[in-house]
Structure 1
Amino acid sequence: MKKLFTLVLMGLAILSSTACKHPGKEAEVITEAVPENKDETTKDVFTDSYGEKIEVIINHTKGTATVHLEGKTYDLKKSDALPEYTASNEEYQYSNIKGNITLLKKNVDMVLFHAKREAKGSGSAKMASY
């Protein structure tokens, strides 16, 4: 009887030890597929004489411009008919012509932002005299 009891106890111990060893959860690996952005973009921030800032992101590949001004975003499409870089939609027009940056509302001819880009290297120029 003691042998049977010991045998049953050993069997239960072996059974319980193997039953409790369930496979642990494998760590989930989430890999986000980051698409390669092959668009050629430029980002500029301009400040006007009043201290207002405008952020312009130009996507040269798609021919679009995204303008951020005073918490609003304007999505514009490049206009080839107008000079230098000009983008517009049915309501707004952004232009950067010879360093004059302008965002205007077309239907009321109201300028929302205007700034003149400072010429690069326009520091004090000293000429050497010989």
Structure 2
Amino acid sequence: MKKLFTSVLIGLAVLSSTACKHPGKEAETLTEVVPENKDETSKDIFTDSYGDKIEVTINHTKGTATVHLEGKTYDLKKSEALPDYTASNEEYQYSNIKGNITLLKKNVDMVLFHAKSETKGSGSAKMASY
């Protein structure tokens, strides 16, 4: 009798637990349309002779440059009057002129970073002799 009673209790417990579950509302899934970033950007990392690295992200669409050096970020605007790619703000100036990368603090004329970029395909030119 005790086994029957326990079996009936367990059966009722299982039935009541499954019977009490109502199908709830399905969660609505929102799909947010993320606009594509149509900005034309380029990202370069340069290393100077001391091993310091500078990371430069240039947004050609907006005409801006973001420079990361030693944990600091510099937001600069492209200067059309200066040659090649030059960007600056009130305090700093970044330039990449013919592979010479320079970041300087303008008001004290202090160079914070300078490196000569290696040009691609600058391997030794050998002439064939016949």
**Secondary structure of residue in 1 paired with 2:68:** strand
Deviation, structure 1 residue 25: 3.8
Query: Over residues 29-81 of structure 1, what are the superposed CA-to-partner deviations in whole Å (9 max), with x where a residue is unaligned?
Result: 24343221001111111000011110000001000000010111100000011
Deviation, structure 1 residue 26: 1.5
Query: Over residues 88-119 of structure 1, what are the superposed CA-to-partner deviations in whole Å (9 max), with x where a residue is unaligned?
Result: 00000000001000000001110000000112
Q: Give the aligned residue type for 1:26.
A: E
Gaps of 5+ in 1: 1-15
Q: Distance in 2 between matches of 1:28 and 1:96?
A: 51
Q: Distance in 1 between matches of 2:50 and 2:27?
A: 55
Aligned to 2:61: 61
**Secondary structure of residue in 2 paired with 1:107:** helix
Runs of 4+ residues deviating >4 angstroms = none
26-35 or 58-67, larger mean C-alpha shift: 26-35
Aligned to 1:36: 36
Q: Distance in 1 between matches of 2:82 and 2:96?
A: 11
Aligned to 2:95: 95
Q: Give the aligned residue type for 1:91.
A: E
Deviation, structure 1 residue 28: 4.2
Bigger CA radius of gyration: 1
The alignment's C-alpha RMSD in Å is: 1.9
Q: Percent identity?
A: 90
Q: Distance in 2 between matches of 1:122 and 1:93?
A: 28
TM-score calculated relative to the size of structure 1: 0.80
Aligned to 1:51: 51
Q: Give the aligned residue type for 2:42.
A: T
How many correspondences in the alignment?
Answer: 114
Q: Give the aligned residue type for 1:114.
A: H
Aligned to 1:106: 106
Q: Distance in 2 between matches of 1:119 and 1:25?
A: 62
